[in-house]
Amino acid sequence: MGKSALGTLYNDGDAIVSEGEPGDSMYVIQSGTVVLHRHKEGKEVFLAELGERDFFGEMTIFEREARSATVRAKGEVHVLTVDKKTLLSRIQKDPSLAFRLLEKMSSRIRKMDAHLTRIKGSDRRNWDTRPETFDGFGS
């Protein structure tokens, strides 16, 4: 069976977006896996791993802030770019299109709450030794 994926092909380690750069699009993973990192005190802190049909970069669709994380390809990845203008003009005509984005962002807030609760409930002395992972981030 033939195969021809949409979007742009990124190879292992390629940066798809970089923390701090301006952005006017979000991305939907067509195939493969990406890893989200954030820089803290000169180190790359792992945030999340996303797979097929997940999206990232949606925060710059709704606010004018710079990218909040770096997203790198883990292996071969096809990523489709969704233009801010295309998306916002469609959401204006069909607000239900934003439901899925809200659903995903709501699920990320829920995970963030759970993560925060775990941190607050644990011994503060162990904080520094904890792996800083949180699997809900929109870059």
Q: Which residues bind another protein (CB under 8 A)?
A: 1-8, 28, 30-31, 52-53, 55, 78, 80-83, 86-87, 90, 93-94, 96-97, 99-101
Which element (helix H / strand E) includes 78? strand 70-83
- The residue among 99 and 127 lying less far from another protein, judged by its C-beta, is 99
Nearest to 26 by CA among 75, 90, 74: 90
Q: Residue 19 is which amino acid?
A: E
CB of 111 to another protein, least distance (A): 18
CB of 5 to another protein, least distance (A): 4
- The residue among 40 and 93 lying less far from another protein, judged by its C-beta, is 93
Helix (H, G, I), strand (E, B) or coil at 81: strand
C-beta of residue 50 within 8 angstroms of C-beta of residue 34: yes
Which position has the token pair 């644990």?
A: 122
- The residue among 5 and 119 lying less far from another protein, judged by its C-beta, is 5
CB of 113 to another protein, least distance (A): 22
